[in-house]
Amino acid sequence: MTQLALVIDLNVCVGCQACVTNCKEWNTSGSAGPMVDQNPYGKDPTGTFFNRVQTYEVGEFPNTETIHFPKSCLHCEDPPCVPVCPTGASYKRKEDGIVLVDYDKCIGCKYCSWACPYGVREFDEQQKIMKKCTLCVDRIYDPKMTEEERRPACVRACPTSARLYGDIHDPESEVSQAIREAGGYQLMPE
Amino acid sequence: MTPTPVEEIKKTTCYMCACRCGIRVHLRDGEVRYIDGNPDHPLNKGVICAKGSSGIMKQYSPARLTRPLRRKPGSERGAGEFEPISWEEAFSTLAERLGKIRATDPKKFALFTGRDQMQALTGLFARQFGTPNYAAHGGFCSVNMAAGMIYTIGGSFWEFGGPDLDRAKLFVMIGTAEDHHSNPLKIALSKFKRDGGRFVSINPVRTGYSAIADEWVPIRPGTDGALLLAFIHEIIAKGLYDRDFLVRHSNAGQLVNVAEASDEFGMFVRAEVPQEEACYDPQDKLWWDRNTNRPVVTHTAGADPYLRGEFRMGDGTVVKPSFQLLQERVKDYTPEWAEGITGIPADTIRRLAHEMGVTARDQKIELPISWTDTWGVEHDTVTGNPVAFHAMRGLAAHSNGFQTIRALGILMSLLGTIDRPGGFRHKVPFPRPIPPCARTPNHPKAVQPNRPLDGMALGWPSDPDDLFVDEDGSPVRLDKGFSWEYPLSVHGLMHNAITNAWRGDPYKIDTLMIFMANMAWNSTMNAVEVRKMLNDKDETGEYKIPFIVVADAFQSEMTAFADLILPDTTYLERHDVMSILDRPISEFDGPVDSVRVPVVPPTGECKPFQEVLIELGTRLKLPVFVNKDGGRKYRDYPDFIINYETEPGSGIGFLAGWRGKGGEKFMRGEPNPNQWEMYAKNDCVFHYELPKSYQYMRNWNKGYLEWSQRNRITRYAEPILIHLYSEVLQKFRSAAQGKGLTRKPPEHLKKRIETWFDPLPFYADTLEGQATDKQKYPLAAITQRPMAMYHSWDSQNAWLRQIHAHNLLHVNTQTARHLGIADGDWIWVESPWGKVRCMAQHSDAVEPGTVWTWNAIGKAAGAWGLSPDANESQRGFLLNHLISEELPGGAGHVSNSDPITGQAAWYDVRVRIYKAEAGEPEQTSPQFEPMKRYPGQSESRSVWNFFAGKVSK
């Protein structure tokens, strides 16, 4: 069975945030949008981003590493956000494993965001509904796009090609090969 | 039923930072829906950065200026009271004022631009006007990198050349360099690492690309020169230099007169070969031949020069090869010596030097490409030594930066990596002769009423007689560029223009025009005082700088000080060119130029600055812009780009692609009326790929240099030998010592010239370091660039500011604890020149003697369309308040700059830090009166559900 996913090569991620804003610009005017910005020109601006980069330091000077860690929905094999949803708005697609939210069914109870171990669900304070990464579902099957374009926005934007995308259940896919060759690991496999 | 939205895709060129990637702008009902990288563009190959992806928020920003504005009559400058006027009124006001200046004393008009990729046009305008007072932002950015490298190897980094990471095995990045340039370097770094290359980052801070370095080597700011000289010491001591490369391609074997009493001391000895007066390096110098043990003309066939030793010429003159002098120079620059200065262990320095030398020597690349050198020798292969370097502002923005960068150029040359695979490679129009041929005038009579300037406003001095000074050695330029204070200030000194104009030193001006430069904030040192100067009045009540014009797309801090504001368009709204006459986007394999075409109409009454210059030039009847009868020559900027030629019939214009009547010619050809359409059809970019045999060793590549000469990219096809030893610098030093026939510096600058114009690189502490009590101010304070805000622009961007809304001062954890400063504490940062209050953050990714912050995030309250309580002004801060634009010295005032090039020494400042008192406001200091919204600016939304196609509905 197909399981589409993102694989991220932290060895080359420089934390440039291209994936963060390219995701935002594609999705805010796409099928998952709009993605609200509150106080966009005022104090403490906040907004909906399906993808964020965390930066942190590891180790003590001078043996310090600076790590940039992009985070978005992992489209888990067994997503904890789905069973907790009281309305069935959160669901995992059988055909490709993508986890989506049906906005029409969402009541904004936030159970899913409490259940998500990665904190990648984004509550829209204006519409009072939960939003999240769709793996650019409105790109990857769009017949009007070329094959190169039928990839998530974050993957296409990434200047260091740190982000790879594909079917991790297909051993011949680029992502499966990358995982094998670079010793890839799942976050929190449990 | 809702009609189906109209979707279309238009290609153009990005300008969210200075890299100029190819982009595709997706429009929905005429509104920008998405911007992605153009996969067919040679620069970015489809990728895009965080800034490029946020262009939508630039386009629709509430900081946009949309109408020409005039300071309200009776209101005070700086109060932000403006009223809209028509473009006709703006143009007639300007044409009248500038016309009078031009008819009386053209130097009283000064044009300084923040952007320096439009210099082919802005420079042309200034020259035609007749003013010497023109420069772009290079002087306060990275001129040391341009000058230090170009005066050594005939090329430099970024637009001029760069590391060949496709073939390098070892890559060493020194200092902050990430944004020059960004996406191509990211693409290359990733590939380099995946191919198994080793990446070493030498930087006081581990951020940016250093995060993915295999090794981080923390260094104290401003000490890079000591490190590089120690590398050179080791490379020479262990015999790891590429002797064959140096002999053929540098002046290593050429003999220098070392008879101290001689008037010719420090000059090369020359054969009696008559030379025409030209700007290339004549091949009249001498080697001491090992085979015959006598002096021979350089590069004599069959000869092999000694690189070491001391020899006596027939007339008794004692001479030494350049290389011998270099070896003597670095004798005491041991790794142990450098350890004490840089903070890097001697063993690490030695290990890295050996790694460079051994990698270069033992992992040679041979490409099966035949080529012919300038001496007519044919070669079957191109050799490469796969060690590559990259550096930019981190090295450059110090007052000792020029000599540091000379040392880097020499290290790269010793390793045999210049324009070779796996090392450093040039980009057209480089390499150029050392120095390049452009010269400024050298006397004040070049400035005459109603006449173009007799020479270039910016150039490349080759000796003291090229300086732009008057009879008594005083500067002709407002910024004192090309004077004895900063002789090789090849990009000018924009950072001193306001202070000098305010003081009337060297003279008062009338009108200051600033384009796209925030000289009242992050582009100026000493921002608090400079803001006062902009408003200051003389005893008669007149402003000391009588008239200030600001052209900008946004409500920057600088606009508040304007008497007249000209609203520029965004990059999505205009025609624009990235010309080979300027700073193009060439690749290693050949020249590339590119254009922007409008993808959306101008907002409000915005007008591209290019159009402003064409219109003003026409109204002022500047010769280039009018016909013989004085009538308009060019309808507009696109028309100018098509039809302008450097000389009548030269076939060379701003764009090299699709020339000739039908677009069938490249590089040279008659104007093509459909040139814009052809660029637009071809991804807005023209890429000319040189034959493989012209792609390497270009300083000495006969085929390439003759091609370059045919296309008027260079004037001469003579070899460009690397200057290990700089006779150019020695000429200035000799003048300071009273020798030679050239002009001599004024008494008060003799010592300075003699010290800094050393023909061989040396290490000295920075000027500010020498002048500061380091017990009192123990820490170095520097800035780095966040990738989401490269090139300092776009702090008003609604998406990007959610990534960085305020900046913190990053302090080494141990240093902070020692001072009792906790993570997140409010602190004071104090330099000899000022102090700021901000928040501290502990970090282990910074060396203990350095504190740093992100550049360009702190803003003045109310600027850039942000609310007065926005984080940028309340928690963000500007380090520039701690940096002085002048230092004590010289005859009163001297710029806080490199004494050779005038490069602004941003990274020299020393500070101390201490906790703010309990009860102090949790707000950055200093604060300024909040800026007001101007007529024509849109309201800032408090909530924005951006969805393209519905913005205006």
ipTM score for this prediction: 0.97
Please judge whether B186 and A22 are an interchain contact, meaning their C-beta atoms are less than 8 angstroms apart. Answer: no
Confidence of residue B833 (pLDDT cuts 50, 70, 90): very high
Confidence of residue A1 (pLDDT cuts 50, 70, 90): confident
Inter-residue contact B823 to B319 (CB < 8 Å): no
Q: Tally the residues of chain B.
A: 953
Average pLDDT over residues B373-402: 97
Q: Is A11 on the interface with B (CB under 8 A)?
A: yes
Residue ranges of alpha helices (H) inside B293-433 are 322-330, 335-342, 346-362, 393-396, 401-414
d(CA A153, CA A149): 8
* pLDDT for B2: 62
What is the reported pTM?
0.97
Average pLDDT over residues B56-80: 96
Confidence of residue B365 (pLDDT cuts 50, 70, 90): very high
Please judge whether A36 and B813 are an interchain contact, meaning their C-beta atoms are less than 8 angstroms apart. Answer: no
Largest CA distance in chain A: 52
Confidence of residue A183 (pLDDT cuts 50, 70, 90): confident
Inter-residue contact B546 to B540 (CB < 8 Å): no
**pLDDT exceeds 80 at position B942:** yes
* pLDDT for B280: 87
DSSP label at residue B941: P
Whether the CA torsion B212, B218, B224, B228 is positive or negative: it is negative
* pLDDT for A86: 96
Task: Say how many C-beta atoms besides its own lie within 10 A of residue A188's C-beta.
Answer: 9
Average pLDDT over residues B868-886: 96
Q: Which of A21, A37, A160 sits opposite B53 (nearest CB)?
A: A21
d(CA A154, CA B37): 12
Task: Say how many C-beta atoms besides its own lie within 10 A of residue B608's C-beta.
Answer: 23
**pLDDT exceeds 80 at position B658:** yes
DSSP label at residue B309: -
**pLDDT exceeds 90 at position B872:** yes
Confidence of residue A186 (pLDDT cuts 50, 70, 90): confident
* pLDDT for B889: 64
Please judge whether B865 and A41 are an interchain contact, meaning their C-beta atoms are less than 8 angstroms apart. Answer: yes
Confidence of residue A181 (pLDDT cuts 50, 70, 90): confident
For tokens 């052809």, name the residue.
B678
* pLDDT for B243: 98
**% of chain B at pLDDT higher than 70:** 98
Q: At what angle do helices B224-237 and B335-342 cross, to 10 degrees?
A: 170
Residues facing residue A72 across a β-bridge: A51
Q: Which amino acid is at B572?
A: L
Average pLDDT over residues B643-664: 96
* pLDDT for B951: 67
| Closest of B522, B510, B582, B587 to residue B546, by C-alpha | B510
For tokens 């009792």, name the residue.
B820
Average pLDDT of chain A, as a whole number: 93
**pLDDT exceeds 70 at position B703:** yes
Confidence of residue B523 (pLDDT cuts 50, 70, 90): very high
Confidence of residue B790 (pLDDT cuts 50, 70, 90): confident
- Element (DSSP H or E) covering residue A58: strand A51-58
Contacts of B208 in chain A (CB under 8 A): 14-15
Number of CB pairs < 8 Å for A and B?
195
Average pLDDT over residues B612-635: 97
Average pLDDT of chain B, as a whole number: 96
Weakest-pLDDT range from A91-100, B110-119, B257-266, B630-639: B110-119
d(CA B306, CA B317): 17
Contacts of A62 in chain B (CB under 8 A): 216, 218, 847
**pLDDT exceeds 80 at position B134:** yes
Q: At what angle do helices B346-362 and B224-237 cross, to 10 degrees?
A: 60
How many Cα atoms occupy the beta-carbon half-sphere of B176 within 13 Å? Answer: 30
**pLDDT exceeds 70 at position B953:** no
For tokens 């008879």, name the residue.
B259
Inter-residue contact B568 to B607 (CB < 8 Å): yes
d(CA B735, CA B754): 8
d(CA B250, CA B720): 8
For tokens 């300038």, name the residue.
B374
Top residue of B946, B952, B953 to mutate, by most chain A CBs within 10 Å, is B946
d(CA A176, CA A181): 9
| Closest of B907, B888, B773, B723 to residue B223, by C-alpha | B907
Largest CA distance in chain B: 99
pLDDT per position as a tens digit, A112-148: 999 999 999 999 999 999 999 999 999 999 999 999 9
Contacts of A68 in chain B (CB under 8 A): 211
* pLDDT for B279: 85
Contacts of A159 in chain B (CB under 8 A): 44, 47-49, 182-183, 186-187, 190
Contacts of B944 in chain A (CB under 8 A): 36-37, 40
Residues facing residue B810 across a β-bridge: B841, B852
Weakest-pLDDT range from B22-26, B209-213, B219-223, B853-857: B853-857
**pLDDT exceeds 90 at position B657:** yes
For residue A74, how far is the Cα from the chain centroid? 6
**pLDDT exceeds 60 at position B156:** yes
* pLDDT for B785: 86
